[in-house]
Structure 1
Amino acid sequence: MCPDSGVPAEGFPIDFYRGERIGKYEVVTQLSVGGMAELFLGFTSGPGGFRKYVVIKRVLPDARDNAQFERMFLDEARITAAFNHPNIAQVFDLGREDDGLYLAMEFIAGQNLNQITGACLRRQEQLPLGFTLSVARDVCMALHYAHTYTAPSGAPSPVIHRDVAQKNIMVTYDGVVKLLDFGIAKAKDSLERTNVGTVKGTTGYMSPEQVRGDTLDGRSDLFSVGVMMHELITGARLFAGKNERDEMMKILEAPVPWPSHVAPHVPEEVSKVVMRALERSREKRFANGRDMARAIEAAAGKLLLDAHDRAALMQDWFAERMSATRVMLESADGTTNGVMLDSAKRALRSDDGPYLPERKDIPTPSNGVAGMPRKPSRKVPAAAAPRKASAAVEGTPQPPESKASNVLWGLVLMGILVGGGYAAWHLSKVLNETVDEKDASALRTLPQHDPNLPVYLGPGSGPPTDAGNTETPAKVSGGEDAEGSRSKEAASARPVKGRGKLTLLVLPEAEVFRGKKRVGRTPMFNVAMPAGEHDLTIVGPDGKKRMLSVPISAGETTQFRLKLAEIPER
């Protein structure tokens, strides 16, 4: 719901801070408490019923005598207050009271990427590739703005974030991406001078130069984006270790698997973008965030989701938390009863996990920290021949051929045999293309234009009984039906006058064809098609062809959500 700097403030009744004033802001509730600061939901009022909600960050009493933290706090306010970018959370106000320094920041109704991946894991779903790519593209553009920031005086004043990670990237319920927390950002003229060799940031997402304590530029943040993309695409942590030292060693030396080798549904062009961002030599990475954003767009093509599409997914994943947020905001009027407030509090402060599991196929380098090489390079088997780079991401490192791929699959199999935990299970699930059948009866609808989205639960289930939904469900075709009315030579579509739209989700993601023409890759939103009944060919990661019949009505949007395993093979 808001930027989070710590753990929920459990143990206090929800009205413990209600009515307290911090500067000109009235507190609704405390949101969380971290090691140095606490967060509150508050608002400021004005004539005519004006009300603006904000998140207030206040320094804790124990940290008020910490001069270094106070300088960092002031740096965060000074740096980000001047920013004006749609994908960067805004800072509105800075003040000091007897209770210490405080910041008033943009209230963001949404969830961070840790919470989003946790929601998908709980539902045993893959985070849609198009969702990950579109979020990464927007983060790259936000970083490019910060890296090339020019002060009002006209003087260049670049800002390096230094802590780009899932916890600091939020997606609002309206589908807007927001980069948070420039609390340890390094501005050109920052008041807080970092000592040589000091390491700041989230360990598993640091760049190699950040681990070594070298001077940083914007390409360090782009490495962190590459880590984030790799993890969200493959469903496992990339540089997780037993402790910070292990993670730093992996960042410097551990081999990095190609995303397309771990998750076969990932296009090779997307893998090239990720691997170029993860080059240990910064000179080989993208020159700036804008270049990386353009490369993501070129590699993703029609996979990219826009804000409307992301909003539909967020509303599906977090309907309960959205309702709780509304209750919390409405409670500022003092008309909400205590039972509803307590329920909203529990919903908003519930566990955000499970988080992504540790990958089991990346060993920790054996040499000690004292022997860290200054410029380690990625180890590639001598027999591996590089593939030709595409024009979109020229200069991107190329994947090893089948030898390295066989090694990777061997590691996956070994992980399964020895009980390698969730990561190995997840990879085997992707490779064997299975879908948990226990979710078949619990398919949720995806809110789009019509909230009464039709749901197909299996052959013979018939149309939905919801009277509010007039659309006809898709028909899964496995050859001739009971009456033998459909022949193999049947036309792929029987159009009538007019055009409609199709929204189709298939889990896991799959390619969709109408006749010999490729329609796109799921999830697909609002794809224009001629009115009539269409026989679509669905090709999943296993390469098998499946047949799905969908009716398209003129001027309407037909919407379906299916499991790939439920669609019979052609």
Structure 2
Amino acid sequence: MYYTMRMADVQPRQFGKYRLITKLATGGMAEIFLASYQGIGGFSKVLVVKKILPNLSEEPRFLEMFLDEARIAAMLNHPNVVQIFDLGRIGSDYFIAMEYLAGESLSYVLKECRNQKKAFPHWLAASVVAQTAEGLHHAHVATGKDGQPLGIVHRDVSPQNIFLLYDGGVKVVDFGIARATTRTTQTRTGMLKGKYAYMSPEQVAGNDLDCRSDIFSLGIVLWESLVLRKLFIQENDLDLLKAVEKADIPDPRTFRATIPEPLALICQKSMARDKERRYASANDMAVDLRRFLKTCRADWDNPALAGFMQSLCQKRIEKKKAIIDQALSDPVSLEKSLFGDLTTFSSDTEYSVPHNTPSRQPAQPHDRTGMPKVILLVVMAMLLGGGLTWLWANREPASSAPHARPPDPDRPEDAGAPPAPTPPTENEPPSPAAEDGGATDPPPDGATIEDGYGGLAAGEAAAPVSQRGDNDYRLAKRHQKPKKNSKPATAPQDNHPPPGPPGQLRLLTNPWTEVFYNGKSLGQTPLVDIELPSGRIKLRLVNRERGIEKTVTVTIEPGKKTVEKLDLF
């Protein structure tokens, strides 16, 4: 993820002891801000504040993932790994403060090379990957306070997570999905984490991972840096995963004949399909790359990379410097830090001060004529009391039913529920038909997709979705007249799938979604060969970023593998 900074975004706001200068990026779980810290004696430091998204801060699983990232990264201290300064909470906002990286992601650099028709010199590519490998090796061999290995595997090594600094340094970032023995959240069986185009074959297969999985991913990074094109290019994610699992890697010299043979061999060794044939450690790969660099030329080190970055990104460097200089020239007082307005920083982000923060009222002048005000208050109280008495006497009879709880799409029992004549109240459990994974009347053959909020309108029924190609589905509806004597929405139904041995489901959706079954998350798509009860079951598919909330009915064959690919647009 590379940062885009616009002058229009410069609206500094205080966030505890940090000053948020501008929003750099928004991801699936957090927002990233350029920030500064103002200390005593004119001390100031530019840094980055990463805040968990407000809608996820109350969900324990996402909160623990966020905290895991900080805990893992805080254990690492290496010049090629991003540094963590602080982990905390302000009000309901959890945040991580980390070092600001004055540079660009490798993803941006490769894109700019293509746009500007500039080659990315192969010796610079080798240098960048060597430094990345050294940072990863430090993480792989890191130990805890007890001296035991932490077993860290990054699992998301990609050009987006490698930063090239303007001064020639290289940093590995984003340990958000890293595996470690200290994690409190563990990846569910059948759930893939990472970018599909940079996964190792064993990662796609859902097998146990070690440092060699990161080495495979780093080999892809090296290949793409040398060739300036994507290694795995497929029409859809399912074919992409199959290509990665097959790992049929072409020689990079097929696309760029000037690549030296020793460098091409390093690239191919790092991406051997059999992990036993890869480098045993990221350090071994770095050693080979360093050895190659010594034989090819002398100016491959950080100053050479710094010169390349300066020529490639000159305008962006000047713009970022202007933004930071402008922000640091206008310090915010401590009083504004405690009582300032935090609600106008961004149109798509809400901030709130802690509820126990006292509000400061302007000082009132001493009133020397208090008696007339006392009399006025007594008269007003009498008038108000009379008005309340009249309202009580003329009130309408109150309903004996308690207020219904409004449906909450985040609650499993609410999402995907069809509309009922009378909404369930706090004292009434929702109908079993509203539960994720609940059994339904037998629908027509084939996968069925229903809108998640409120179900179908009157006179509509779920129909098989239209099939486009191999297991490729789109949303479809058919109209039919309501049946007479139809069952009410709250009628109890059998919520258990038919008996039989469980089957496996491989599910791919466009776009990605989080999958819920019986109110429990199965993880994000693609789900790979996850075990589920046989029979027709309901799955709830959620992507809050795209506003998608749908219920899908799929048939799990007993003892077999079911493959579904759903297009939700």
Q: TM-score, normalised by structure 1?
A: 0.56
**Residues 218 and 288 in structure 1, CA contact (< 8 A), matched pair in contact too:** yes
Q: CA deviation at 1:8?
A: 5.6
Q: CA deviation at 1:298?
A: 2.4
Q: CA deviation at 1:290?
A: 0.7
Q: Tell whether 2:133 aligns with 1:135.
A: no
Q: Tell whether 2:45 aligns with 1:52.
A: yes
* Equivalent residue, structure 2, for 1:420: none
* Equivalent residue, structure 2, for 1:332: 327
Q: CA deviation at 1:153?
A: 2.9
1:292 to 285, 288, 312: 285
Q: Tell whether 2:315 aligns with 1:320.
A: yes
What is the one-letter code of the residue matched to 1:20? Q
2:195 to 181, 202, 223: 202
Taking the aligned partners of 1:334 and 1:53, their CA distance within structure 2 comes to: 12
**Residues 32 and 51 in structure 2, CA contact (< 8 A), matched pair in contact too:** yes
The 1:244–1:66 alpha-carbon spacing in structure 2 relative to 1, beyond 3 Å, is: farther
2:58 to 57, 65, 78: 65
**Residues 28 and 41 in structure 1, CA contact (< 8 A), matched pair in contact too:** yes
**Residues 8 and 33 in structure 1, CA contact (< 8 A), matched pair in contact too:** no
Q: How does 1:368-447 map to 2 (within 5 A)?
A: none
**Residues 86 and 96 in structure 2, CA contact (< 8 A), matched pair in contact too:** yes
**Residues 137 and 296 in structure 1, CA contact (< 8 A), matched pair in contact too:** yes
2:302 to 294, 302, 307: 307
* Equivalent residue, structure 2, for 1:111: 104
Q: Tell whether 2:13 aligns with 1:19.
A: yes
Q: How does 1:79-94 map to 2 (within 5 A)?
A: 79-94=72-87
Q: CA deviation at 1:9?
A: 8.8
What is the one-letter code of the residue matched to 1:115? Y
Taking the aligned partners of 2:8 and 2:307, their CA distance within structure 1 comes to: 33
**Residues 276 and 285 in structure 1, CA contact (< 8 A), matched pair in contact too:** yes
Taking the aligned partners of 1:158 and 1:294, their CA distance within structure 2 comes to: 22
* Equivalent residue, structure 1, for 2:421: none
The 1:254–1:75 alpha-carbon spacing in structure 2 relative to 1, beyond 3 Å, is: closer
* Equivalent residue, structure 1, for 2:176: 183
Flag as ranges the 4+ runs of structure 1 deviating above 6 A.
none
What is the one-letter code of the residue matched to 1:271? A
What is the one-letter code of the residue matched to 1:281? D
Number of residue-to-residue matches in the alignment: 335
**Residues 266 and 285 in structure 2, CA contact (< 8 A), matched pair in contact too:** yes
**Residues 141 and 150 in structure 2, CA contact (< 8 A), matched pair in contact too:** yes
Taking the aligned partners of 1:101 and 1:167, their CA distance within structure 2 comes to: 24
Taking the aligned partners of 1:371 and 1:38, their CA distance within structure 2 comes to: 33
The 1:274–1:329 alpha-carbon spacing in structure 2 relative to 1, beyond 3 Å, is: same
Q: CA deviation at 1:100?
A: 1.7
Taking the aligned partners of 1:83 and 1:333, their CA distance within structure 2 comes to: 29
**CA offset digits 1:307-334 (Å, max 9, x no partner):** 1110011111111111111111111234
1:256 to 245, 249, 254: 249
Q: CA deviation at 1:277?
A: 0.6
Taking the aligned partners of 1:324 and 1:15, their CA distance within structure 2 comes to: 12
Taking the aligned partners of 1:329 and 1:246, their CA distance within structure 2 comes to: 44
Taking the aligned partners of 1:25 and 1:118, their CA distance within structure 2 comes to: 33
**Residues 162 and 185 in structure 1, CA contact (< 8 A), matched pair in contact too:** yes
**Residues 247 and 273 in structure 2, CA contact (< 8 A), matched pair in contact too:** no
Taking the aligned partners of 1:314 and 1:245, their CA distance within structure 2 comes to: 36
* Equivalent residue, structure 2, for 1:542: none
Structure 1 unpaired stretches of 5+: 337-365, 373-570
**CA offset digits 1:243-270 (Å, max 9, x no partner):** 2211111112252111123211011111
The 1:371–1:64 alpha-carbon spacing in structure 2 relative to 1, beyond 3 Å, is: closer
**Residues 44 and 52 in structure 1, CA contact (< 8 A), matched pair in contact too:** yes
Q: CA deviation at 1:91?
A: 0.8
Q: CA deviation at 1:199?
A: 0.8
Q: CA deviation at 1:20?
A: 2.4
**Residues 197 and 232 in structure 2, CA contact (< 8 A), matched pair in contact too:** yes
1:213 to 199, 206, 209: 206
**Residues 168 and 179 in structure 1, CA contact (< 8 A), matched pair in contact too:** yes
Taking the aligned partners of 2:191 and 2:154, their CA distance within structure 1 comes to: 15
**Residues 36 and 62 in structure 1, CA contact (< 8 A), matched pair in contact too:** no
Q: How does 1:168-179 map to 2 (within 5 A)?
A: 168-179=161-172
Q: CA deviation at 1:99?
A: 3.6
Q: CA deviation at 1:194?
A: 1.3
Taking the aligned partners of 2:129 and 2:328, their CA distance within structure 1 comes to: 38
Q: TM-score, normalised by structure 2?
A: 0.56
Q: CA deviation at 1:367?
A: 13
Q: Highest Rg: 1 or 2?
A: 2
The 1:371–1:250 alpha-carbon spacing in structure 2 relative to 1, beyond 3 Å, is: farther
Q: CA deviation at 1:31?
A: 1.6
**Residues 36 and 328 in structure 2, CA contact (< 8 A), matched pair in contact too:** no
**Residues 130 and 289 in structure 2, CA contact (< 8 A), matched pair in contact too:** yes
| Partner SS, residue 159 of structure 1 | coil
Q: CA deviation at 1:142?
A: 0.7
Structure 2 unpaired stretches of 5+: 332-469, 473-503, 507-569
* Equivalent residue, structure 2, for 1:528: none
**Residues 80 and 131 in structure 2, CA contact (< 8 A), matched pair in contact too:** yes
What is the one-letter code of the residue matched to 1:328? I
Taking the aligned partners of 2:255 and 2:24, their CA distance within structure 1 comes to: 38
| Partner SS, residue 9 of structure 2 | coil
Taking the aligned partners of 1:297 and 1:181, their CA distance within structure 2 comes to: 25
**CA offset digits 1:335-363 (Å, max 9, x no partner):** 69xxxxxxxxxxxxxxxxxxxxxxxxxxx
* Equivalent residue, structure 2, for 1:163: 156
**Residues 5 and 22 in structure 2, CA contact (< 8 A), matched pair in contact too:** no
Tell which deviates more after alignment, 327-336 or 116-125: 327-336
The 1:307–1:294 alpha-carbon spacing in structure 2 relative to 1, beyond 3 Å, is: same
2:271 to 268, 275, 278: 278
- Provide the alpha-carbon RMSD of the alignment: 2.4
The 1:90–1:126 alpha-carbon spacing in structure 2 relative to 1, beyond 3 Å, is: same
| Partner SS, residue 50 of structure 2 | strand
**Residues 114 and 228 in structure 2, CA contact (< 8 A), matched pair in contact too:** no
Q: CA deviation at 1:14?
A: 2.4
**CA offset digits 1:6-25 (Å, max 9, x no partner):** x8698x95244x1322x321
* Equivalent residue, structure 2, for 1:225: 218
